Amino acid sequence: MVREQPEENMFLTLYIDDMLLVGNNLKVNNATKKWLSSIFEMKVMGQGRYVLRIKIVRNHSKKFLSLC
């Protein structure tokens, strides 16, 4: 699922019972998590370091996100 607004991007990836939510607007990310948790039983695990054995590399100061 991809949700895109001007200057606002969000990606939601789902694999079996694991979900990864990535976006550049913290307010929208939190609202989306709140909405999803009102429908589904969820546990927020914090920032992901790996997804499907792929390492997530981020640099907040440069607004950089990469998968290795």
- 33-58 tens-digit pLDDT: 999 999 999 998 888 899 888 999 98
Query: Where along the chain do its domains lie?
Result: 2-67
Which residues on adjacent β-strands are paired with residue 4?
9
Secondary structure (3-state) at 65:
strand
11 burial via Cβ count (<10 Å: 0-12, 13-18, 19+):
middle
The pLDDT score that the predictor gives to residue 17 is 87
Beta partners for residue 67, in sequence order? 56
Q: Is pLDDT of 7 > 80? A: no
Binning pLDDT at 50, 70 and 90, where does residue 3 land?
Answer: low
pTM: predicted TM-score of the whole model, two decimal places: 0.70
What number of residues does the chain have? 68
| The predicted structure's pLDDT at residue 1 | 60
